[in-house]
Amino acid sequence: MHFDHVGERLLKQMKLIALVGSLRRESVNRRLALTMKERYRGKFELEIADIGSLPYYDQDVEDNPPSSVLALKDKISNADGVLIVTPEYNWSVPGVLKNALDWLSRGDRVLIGKPVLTAGASPGMYGTLRGQLHLREILTSPGIQAVTLPPAGNEIAIAQASQKFGEGEIGLVDERTLNHMDVVVDRFLGLIGKH
Ligand SMILES: Cc1cc2nc3c(=O)[nH]c(=O)nc-3n(C[C@H](O)[C@H](O)[C@H](O)COP(=O)(O)O)c2cc1C
């Protein structure tokens, strides 16, 4: 938890953790997560977790997991919600993201009841829709049981990303997409407020 003093009041700043499904330096999904971090700075603090350094899930060590896994579980336990920003790989989620979710689904199962918002961007026509559909199925599994917004109207699935992101490091710039994302993020914060 993070607290800010404002005059006499004590305001709690919401804290979210982002899991980004691409390790690529110039990943459009990483740039989307960075856009969200910057754009919603006044609404919540967003920390992008390092899921690339997690070892492969191994049941032999799950009762005594590596420190990187414990650190990620701790961050998620203490967060108000989770953003998953991911590319679609072969109509599903990248292995690096599935591996993180597999770790998180075991032991203290820190995603149960946790509000999770999914988002993704792709260069193609479907903007990760198939991958996010699969991700939603994974998020309902017994070890995860995350709480999500209903999909209708709440999808952040950005197609033809090269036309909607700036050059180089610059994030999402397409106004219509940003406006839609603002609406969905506000609904997600409402969902968090109910938990
Ligand atoms: C292994 C692999 C599988 C992919 N499968 C899909 C796919 O099923 N659907 C799709 O729209 N794009 C697919 N792509 C293309 C990705 O959408 C594209 O590379 C995207 O930019 C990756 O996201 P990133 O920029 O965040 O790394 C695939 C790319 C890779 C490397």
Q: What is the pLDDT of residues 44-74, one digit of tens each?
A: 999 999 999 999 999 999 999 999 999 999 9
Ligand 1 atom index nearest CA of 87: 23
Ligand 1-lining residues (CB < 6 angstroms): 22, 24, 27-29, 87-91, 122-124, 126
Pocket test for ligand 1, best of 90, 133, 162, 164 (most atoms within 8 A of CB): 90
**Which residue segments constitute the domains of the chain, with CATH numbers given?**
12-194 (3.40.50.360)
How remote is the CA of residue 119 from the centroid of ligand 1, in Å? Answer: 14
How remote is the CA of residue 92 from the centroid of ligand 1, in Å? Answer: 10
How remote is the CA of residue 85 from the centroid of ligand 1, in Å? Answer: 13
Ligand 1 atom index nearest CA of 161: 21
**Spatial separation of the C-alpha atoms in residues 160 and 184, rounded to whole Å:** 20
The three-state (H, E, C) secondary structure of the chain, written as one string: CEEEEECCEEEEEEEEEEEECCCCCCCHHHHHHHHHHHHCCCCEEEEECCCCCCCCCCHHHCCCCCHHHHHHHHHHHHCCEEEEECCCECCECCHHHHHHHHHHCCCCCCCCCCEEEEEEECCCCCCCHHHHHHHHHHHCCCCCCCECCCCCCCCEEECCHHHCECCCCCCECCHHHHHHHHHHHHHHHHHHHCC
Closest residue (by CA) to atom 9 of ligand 1? 88
Q: Per residue of the chain (195 residues), what is the pLDDT tens digit? A: 445 555 444 567 999 999 999 999 999 999 999 999 999 999 999 999 999 999 999 999 999 999 999 999 999 999 999 999 999 999 999 999 999 999 999 999 999 999 999 999 999 999 999 999 999 999 999 999 999 999 999 999 999 999 999 987 789 999 999 999 999 999 999 999 998
**Spatial separation of the C-alpha atoms in residues 146 and 83, rounded to whole Å:** 11
**Spatial separation of the C-alpha atoms in residues 79 and 16, rounded to whole Å:** 5
- The reported pLDDT for the residue numbered 12 is 76
- The reported pLDDT for the residue numbered 29 is 98
How remote is the CA of residue 175 from the centroid of ligand 1, in Å? Answer: 24
User: What would you report as the CA-atom Rg of the chain, rounded to the nearest whole angstrom?
Assistant: 16
Ligand 1 atom index nearest CA of 127: 11
Q: Provide the token pair at 84.
A: 């998953």
Residue 129, beta-bridge partner list: none
How remote is the CA of residue 46 from the centroid of ligand 1, in Å? Answer: 24
Ligand 1 atom index nearest CA of 29: 26
- The reported pLDDT for the residue numbered 167 is 83
- The reported pLDDT for the residue numbered 8 is 47
How remote is the CA of residue 121 from the centroid of ligand 1, in Å? Answer: 9
pTM: 0.95
